[in-house]
Structure formats: C-alpha cells, structure tokens
Amino acid sequence: MNSPADSWRAFPAAQQPQWPDGEALRSATGWLSAAPPLVFAAECDLLRRRMAAVARGEAVLLQGGDCAETFARTTTEAIRGTLKTLLQMAVVLTHATALPVIKIGRMAGQYAKPRSSPVERRDGVELPSYRGDAVNGLEFTAEARRPDPARMRRMYESSAMTLNLVRALTTGGFADLRQVHAWNRGFVAGSRAGERYEELAGEIERSLAFMQACGVDTRELGTAEFFVGHEGLLLDYESALTRAEPGSGRSYATSGHLLWIGERTRDLDGAHVEYFSRVHNPIAVKIGPSATPDSVLGLVDRLDPRREPGRLTFVVRAGADRVRDTLPVLVEKVTAEGALVCWVSDPMHGNTVTAASGHKTRSFDTVMEEVRGFVEVHRELGTHPGGVHVELTGDDVTECVGGGNAVLPEDLHHRYETACDPRLNHAQSLDLAFRLAEMYRD
Ligand code: PEP
Ligand code: MN
C-alpha cells in the first residue's frame, strides 16, 4: 500500500469509474502489471530536460490531439493526420521563434474522461455518462455505458498501436524536415492557412538547399523528436503500469511521457496528487479560473518540492474573459516561491459554449483571445509564455466555429465527430499556429 504505485489508495480518488466486478478489475490490472512499459524512463528523463528548457524560456511546447481518443479511430489515417498537423504547426512556430519546439501528442493514451455529471439524460432516459473508451462505450445504451475493466487492456493495446506508428513515422523518414511540403498534401486545398504554409515550406526548402550547397550535412533533420501524453485519470490503469527503474530505484508512469492532472482531480488531499508526487515523469496540472494562489503553491510543494525546472507544468485554462485577471497573481506567487515551472495555455476548456443547434462548440476567435491574454500577461511580467495545449485533429471536421476557412454555426452538424469536446480542424490548427507565431514575434 505504501509503494509509490499504491500509496494513492489511502486518499479519496475523484472521477473514478464504478467498476461493477472486482474479479474483472483484478484480472485487467494483473495483466497490465505484467505488460511491457509503453514508454521508457530515459525518454521521460529526456522530456524533463526538454521541459526544463521551456521553463527557462529557451524552448516552446506544442501539445495537441483529440479530446478523447477512441478505439475505432486508432487508424493510420487518423494518427498520421494528427501527427502531420502537429509537425506543420511546429515548423511554423520554430520559424517564428527560432526556438526548439517540443512536440507532445495528446495521443496514445487519451482514453479516459472526467465528467461534470455522472449521468446523462436524453428524452427522459438517464444513463451513466460516457467516461472515455477506457471505461465504457459512447453509444447511448445501458449495455454500452456499463463500465468494463477489460477496456483498460484495450486502452493499453490501442496506445501501443498508436505509439508504434508514431515512432515509425517520426524516425522512419516521414517527419524529415526535407518533407516539409509533403505534410500539407491530402489536406483540404484552398485554405488561407494552407497557402501561407506552402509559402513558408518553400522558404524552408530553399534554406535547406542553400545549406546543402554550402556543404552542411542536413541528415540530422531526418527524424523528429516526439513525445506522447494524456490525462492520468484512471489510477487503476496508471498504477498497474508504474515501473521502478532498476538503476535509480525511481518510479515512472510508463503509460506516457508526460501525464497531466485535470482541473477536476487536482485536489491537494486527493489520490491523483498523491500518485503523481511519487513518479518521476514530467507532470502537468490544469489550472482553471477558480485556482487560488494557495492551491497552486500547494501543488508546487507537493509535485515539485525540489524546485527542479522541467518537473512541473501549469496548463492554464482560465477562459478568454478571465485569463488576464486570474493569471498574473499565480505567476507572481509561483515565481516568488523560487519555482521555475512551465506555463502553458490551454485556450479550449475555459471557452466551451453550446450552439443554438445544441452542439458543444468553441469559437476560434475566443480561443485566440485566450492565447493572446496568456501571452500578454507573461510579457508584462517578464516571464515566458511556454506554449499551447490544444484539442485538434488533422480531419476536416466542423466542431469549432470560425477560423480562416470559417466554420459557421449552421455547419456544425456536417462533420461533428468528436467523442467528447470540439476540436480544431486542420486549417484552424494551422491558423492558430500562424497567429501564435505572430504573437511570439511581436
Ligand atoms: C481535457 O483536457 O479534456 C479536460 C477535461 O480538461 P480540464 O481538466 O482542463 O477540464
Ligand atoms: Mn477536452
């Protein structure tokens, strides 16, 4: 019980499923405990060093992917689409900032969701809420919505499939910077952001040709460093995949490189903070508009007691209308405490609204307004706006309104495919990258 993997069991754990069957749960966690790690300690340590550069203002973080991955969309097309979108955004940001962009997919493990209500009501029928494919099914039937611990095994398998493809694509030639044009192929032609990207890719290609002509070896550009992360919500899953590193004796969550604690599970006396205080991965915590300076300082003490840059990231999701008021005091107090954390903007979760059609949506302009507020607060304080954490897909979905190729509210039903929150589509994601690049340049 007091091992790093299990000490959390003595604390209240918010947002955990009501697993119906103890035997099935034991069987699933037993299987996971014997499974190979999905990521390795040395990779997590490398990401900690990369995040330390973000904390010091020497790098920028780009994290993105689905709100909720699904087993059905563990497909080559979906994984490649998200990866290409992130690589394109990273090129735009690297070009503008002249800083390394640390890339983390919200991928290969984003299968469990916290919910604001434990039940969902439709036409007078009430069923348990969908909690992500790791827990139950999205279909609105009693059968699908019953939590099933065997789904955690499928979560591991889908994560392994995704990670395998991501590793192959990022090291096998696909992510070669000399392919910068090819990443745009297959995406909807004619978007303004797409055209801007083509121009930039042309410029980069000419620079690479120039370097090659000068005798510079550009082979190093053949692979991309890429990490994966998800919300570390399901503690039965995370603890079954915790492994001690024989050399150092340190424990790591081996389900992903960077895991984060969500806005609803960051209670200082709760099981999530306890679990993550015991593992050596880089850790992020979502910070909503109600976060007090004391609770944020408490998180620093629990999760980064040694004040090591790269260990702790705060992902701010205050809402466009609140970020300028709520963020400055938090940044000031944390800095005064001697902690060098990464500050990252999640401009999505504080800006979700319901459209007249009933679709949950987000306006691209409001999303950008939160990013702008976040960057401005840091500029005024002289601290580093460390990057963004966004929900996006390479698919041409219609889930968020606005953006370069404006999705109109009446278009939302065309391709509304998310299993949970609305994502930026490919053109909107590129548009965000270009606008963020301008903010960094200003
Ligand atoms: C999420 O990232 O999908 C999420 C639920 O975020 P938050 O914890 O910030 O609400
Ligand atoms: Mn979400």
Question: How much of the chain is in helix, strand and coil states, percent to nearest 5?
Answer: 40, 15, 45
What is residue 139's three-state secondary structure?
coil
**CA 307 / ligand 1 centre spacing (Å):** 25
Q: Crossing angle, helix 150-171 and helix 22-34, to 10 degrees?
A: 30
Select from 315, 290, 300 the least CA-distant residue to 370. Answer: 315
In angstroms, rounded to a whole number, what is the distance separating the alpha carbons of residues 31 and 399?
37
Ligand nearest to the CA of 265: 1
**CA 190 / ligand 2 centre spacing (Å):** 29
**CB under 5 Å of ion ligand 2: residues:** 67, 421
Residue 197, C-beta contacts closer than 8 angstroms, at least 6 positions apart: 88, 92, 184, 430
Ligand nearest to the CA of 347: 1
Residue 142, pLDDT score:
98
* Beta carbons of 32 and 365 less than 8 angstroms apart: no
Ligand nearest to the CA of 421: 2
Nearest protein Cα to ligand 1, atom 2: 67
**CA 95 / ligand 2 centre spacing (Å):** 29
pLDDT in tens, 98-153: 999 999 999 999 999 999 999 999 999 999 999 999 999 999 999 999 999 999 99
Atom of ligand 1 nearest to the CA of 421: 3
ipTM of predicted assembly, 2 dp = 0.99
Nearest protein Cα to ligand 1, atom 10: 263
Select from 188, 183, 286 the least CA-distant residue to 232. Answer: 286
Residue 2, pLDDT score:
67
> Long-range contact list for 275-279, CB < 8 A, 24+ apart?
275/7, 275/8, 275/232, 275/235, 275/238, 275/239, 276/232, 276/303, 277/302, 277/303, 278/4, 278/5, 278/7, 278/8, 278/251, 279/4, 279/242, 279/251, 279/252, 279/253
Residue 229, pLDDT score:
98
**CA 353 / ligand 2 centre spacing (Å):** 13
Side-chain half-sphere CA neighbours of 425 within 13 A: 26
What tokens appear for 437 in the block?
């690049």
Torsion over CA: 139, 143, 144, 146 (sign): positive
Atom of ligand 1 nearest to the CA of 317: 9
Mean pLDDT value of segment 160-166 = 98
Ligand nearest to the CA of 423: 2
DSSP 155-166: HHHHHHHHHHHH
The yes-or-no verdict on residue 1 having pLDDT over 70 is no
Atom of ligand 1 nearest to the CA of 262: 8
Burial environment of residue 201 by CB neighbours within 10 A (0 to 12, 13 to 18, 19 or more): buried
Atom of ligand 1 nearest to the CA of 264: 8
pLDDT in tens, 368-397: 999 999 999 999 999 999 999 999 999 999
Q: What percent of the chain has pLDDT over 90?
A: 93
What tokens appear for 147 in the block?
């939590």
First-residue to last-residue Cα distance in the chain: 52
* Beta carbons of 308 and 300 less than 8 angstroms apart: no
Residue 322, pLDDT score:
98
**CA 181 / ligand 1 centre spacing (Å):** 33
In angstroms, rounded to a whole number, what is the distance separating the alpha carbons of residues 169 and 183?
12
Select from 111, 105, 128 the least CA-distant residue to 71. Answer: 111
The yes-or-no verdict on residue 190 having pLDDT over 80 is no
Q: What per-residue string of b and e applies to 287-301 under the rule 16 or more CB within 10 Å gives b?
A: bbbebeeeebbbbbe
The yes-or-no verdict on residue 157 having pLDDT over 90 is yes
Strand ranges, E, within 44-98? 60-65
Burial environment of residue 248 by CB neighbours within 10 A (0 to 12, 13 to 18, 19 or more): exposed
Atom of ligand 1 nearest to the CA of 106: 2
- Average model confidence (pLDDT) across the chain: 96
| Residues at CB less than 6 angstroms from ligand 1 | 67, 114, 231, 262-264, 286, 317, 349, 421
Nearest protein Cα to ligand 1, atom 6: 262
Residue 4, pLDDT score:
85
**CA 346 / ligand 1 centre spacing (Å):** 9
Residue 3, pLDDT score:
84
Residue 72, pLDDT score:
98
In angstroms, rounded to a whole number, what is the distance separating the alpha carbons of residues 379 and 229?
28
Ligand nearest to the CA of 422: 2
What is the band of 186 on the pLDDT scale with cuts at 50, 70, 90?
A: confident
In angstroms, rounded to a whole number, what is the distance separating the alpha carbons of residues 215 and 191?
36
Residue to mutate, 264, 323, 348, 424, ligand 1, most ligand atoms under 8 Å from C-beta: 264
Atom of ligand 1 nearest to the CA of 265: 8
Mean pLDDT value of segment 408-421 = 97
**CA 106 / ligand 2 centre spacing (Å):** 10
* Beta carbons of 54 and 61 less than 8 angstroms apart: yes
Nearest protein Cα to ligand 1, atom 4: 262
Atom of ligand 1 nearest to the CA of 389: 2
Q: Nearest 5°: phi and psi at 146?
A: -75, 125
Residue 74, C-beta contacts closer than 8 angstroms, at least 6 positions apart: 158, 161, 162
Higher pLDDT, 188 or 386: 386
Fill in the amino acid letter for 394: G
Select from 190, 275, 180 the least CA-distant residue to 233. Answer: 275
Side-chain half-sphere CA neighbours of 330 within 13 A: 31
